[in-house]
Structure 1
Amino acid sequence: MPPSPQQQLALSLFAYAAQRGTAPARLEQLAGVSPTALLNEPAGPLSAKQWHDLWLNAAHLTDDPLFGLHFGEAATPMALGVVSQLVQSSRTVGEALTQAVPLLPLFTDQIGLAITHSGQRFSLRFHFLPGASSAVPEALGHLMEFFLAFVLHELDGLVLERIRPDAVWFPPAARRLPDHARALRAAAIADGQPGEYVLEIDNCYWDLSILTGSYEMQALLLKKVAALTAEKPAAAQLKDRISGHLLANAYLGLPSLEALAANFCLSPRSLQRKLQDEGTTYQEVADAVRKTLALHYLQAGHHPLKEVSYLLGYNEVSAFSRAFKRWTGQNPGNYRAA
């Protein structure tokens, strides 16, 4: 029996914490949750205590007070399976979001989501459910911030575009840090209604057609990531952890140095300095990931070069072709034909 959505979320949390340098065995010991059991035992919900211990200890071990936000910001393999189900039965972003609302309880019984329409915008309204009243506030904060960033990131995947909300609202007492605005792409985060976290998005996206072809490529990416993960033990060096992170989250293009550094709780300068100590740069690591994925995509299918180049972070096919020729001595078309 495959893992349940809750189990998939927990497994993805373990995987993301490992990318951030946390030993899975240590997180398992502190949280009392076994990844092996999540993979192999019959599906069953984790207890509230297990979830709280997972969030709190993952944040502690990664030394990241915004662990939930950063985890949600990084698309995870778990997301591809969930969103691909919506893609198969939806034609537009609005249809996919409407179908996503009743799926949220499969992942958590502590957060709800409602969609409202007003004028030129639609709003995604996240709120705590009654059962969350006895939960640990810090753990609930990680969970809420995860879903805010996760849903926004997955909206990007439906249209292959980085969607910027028109407005973001947090409850009056909620903490606001610069990284909240960066990850949620908000010029500022304003006071909203008590107990509600809201993303307001332009209506132009509601009826936008979903780009289903990108999910075929994401399935290829999952296979590649799984194969590479099986080949390597847990990475100790930062460059290897970053490479694994970029591979696992590559289906929307590779992040900027600034975005990646924030996700690893480092300044761009500190991240570059640490990579230089390991004999490399972020550009070199990102370039190696792009090459790996480009070869994989071209070997595995007949996807348009425009889609391949976009997913690898190139705005023009010509720029991708130049990079590919530098890596291999051939242009992409000739390589695929051969």
Structure 2
Amino acid sequence: MHPQQQLALALLAYAAQRGLAVDRLARQSGLDTAALLSPTHGPLSAKQWHDLWLNAAQLARDPTFGLHFGEAATPAALGVVGQLVQSSRTVGEALTHGAALLPLLTDQVWLDLAHSPQSVWLRFRQLPTELAASATVVDHLVDFVLAFVLHELDGLLLERLQPRTVRFPPGARQLPEHLRVLRAATLAAGPPGEYSVELAGACWSMPLLTADYELQAALLQKITQWQAARPAVEPLRDKIAGYLLANAYLGIPSLEELAANFSTSARSLQRKLQAEGTNYQEVADAVRKSLALHYLKMGAYPIKEISYLMGYNELSAFSRAFKRWTGHSPAHYQPASASRSLPG
């Protein structure tokens, strides 16, 4: 399946998570969802690709739709591009592979890389094409790639990268969500037609943790099990639980981060959950419990690593929470043959 086709399907799946009418989105963008699922479909036309981004943002009423999609996406969304990024040994190698293969995803944007002992620079510029994308679509495309790169590296490095600076071309929109998602110390104006991100120079040679590739496969197995049992009409708590499961590879987000991806405020989201007899903490804990049990029963990961993935910096805090959820310590649920487990 062509990488652009896979990315389009991932965008439609994310739109469904956001509660958008996927059939309507596809129809407005000149796409046939059944045909798009065919391995022989191939890449989208320039107009289809342009319209899909534009219509998704308009239907979601989200001026940072690309940013939120990038924050939520996993390497599976990029197909072979994501696979090559994952198989890289270092951040620099992953970025080099990604830059070389970006044309498979879009012909509207180009990525140049530069690095020195002091800085790593990612510079995006719009390319002239037969069908020039609107400034809005280019904004969404660049936002997607920026957010995807930063948040996917979080998962592969088990630490959060914080750009020193993110620069936008003159006149480009700079919204509060850019500060939150991109975690930039500074948002600034850059040269015309160029978006850029500066990271610390030491990032280039950071090794990627291949153990997390196995972890993502385990998570995908868990998501598949959950999706098979989804009802046709879901309450909000189930939609949120599904979103958390689908993106748990990058950790459980805060209420504020989750609300931003649902295009609402934290207060409004909490109020709607309370009307269903629950709250965000309870939903997040239920997902943590489900994932923790899944990883423990696999017997492939030490309890300390599972604790970190569930958002706990201290093993003791995770053990207390787990005992509150289940009545037992984490070690109780690991197979006796698990050789990597630690005391719970």
- Common fold by TM > 0.5: yes
Aligned residue in 1 for 2:340: none
Q: 1:5 to 1:167 in 2, by over 3 A?
A: same
Map of 1:86 onto structure 2: 85
Deviation at residue 285 of structure 1 after TM alignment: 0.7
Q: Deviations over 1:115-136 (max 9, x none)?
A: 1124511101111122176223
Q: Percent identity?
A: 62
Change (3 A) 1:83 1:302: same
Q: Deviation of residue 314 (structure 1)?
A: 1.1
Residue of structure 1 equivalent to 2:129: 131
Question: Is the 8 Å Cα contact of residues 20 and 264 (structure 1) preserved in structure 2?
Answer: yes
Residue matched to 2:227? 229
Counterpart for residue 341 of structure 2: none
Asked whether the 8 Å contact 1:325–1:331 carries over to 2, the reply is yes
Alignment gaps of 5+ in structure 2:
337-344
2:30 equivalent among 29, 32, 35: 32
In the alignment, what sits opposite 1:215? 213
Amino acid at match of 1:257: L
The answer for unaligned runs of 5 or more in structure 1 is none
* Deviation (angstroms), 1:83: 3.6
Choose from 311, 321, 325 the match for 2:319: 321
Relative contact order (alpha carbons < 8 A, sep ≥ 6): 1 or 2 greater? 1
Once the two structures are TM-superposed, the CA of residue 41 in structure 1 deviates from its matched residue by 4.0
Q: Secondary structure at the match of 1:206?
A: helix
Shift of 1:278: 1.6
Contact 1:120 1:202 in 2 (8 A): yes
Paired residue secondary structure (2:199): strand
Partner of 1:255: 253
Aligned-partner Cα distance in 2 for 1:276–1:71: 27
Q: Secondary structure at the match of 1:337?
A: coil
Relative to the length of structure 1, the TM-score reads 0.93
Structure 2 letter corresponding to 1:228: W
Query: Displacement, 1:43?
Result: 4.1
In structure 1, the partner of 2:285 is 287
- Mean alpha-carbon deviation: is it higher for 79-88 or for 56-65? 79-88
Going from structure 1 to structure 2, the CA distance change for 1:69 and 1:132 (only over 3 Å counts) comes to farther
* Partner residue, 1:169: 167
Alpha-carbon offset, residue 236 of structure 1: 3.6
Contact map agreement 1:167 1:201 (CA 8 A) in 2 = yes
- Letter of the 2:174 partner, please give it: R
CA distance 1:240–1:270, shift in 2 (3 Å): same
Matching of residues 111-190 of structure 1 within 5 Å: 111-118=109-116, 120-131=118-129, 134-190=132-188
Distance apart, 1:166 and its partner CA: 0.8
Cα distance, 1:39 vs structure 2: 1.9
Deviates more, 1:135-144 or 1:237-246: 135-144
| CA deviations over 1:79-112 (Å, ceiling 9, x no partner) | 4864443332x22111221222111111111111
Equivalences, count: 335
Residue 268 of structure 2 corresponds to residue 270 of structure 1: yes
Deviation at 1:329, TM superposition (A): 1.7
2:189 to 184, 191, 199: 191
Aligned counterpart, 1:70: 68
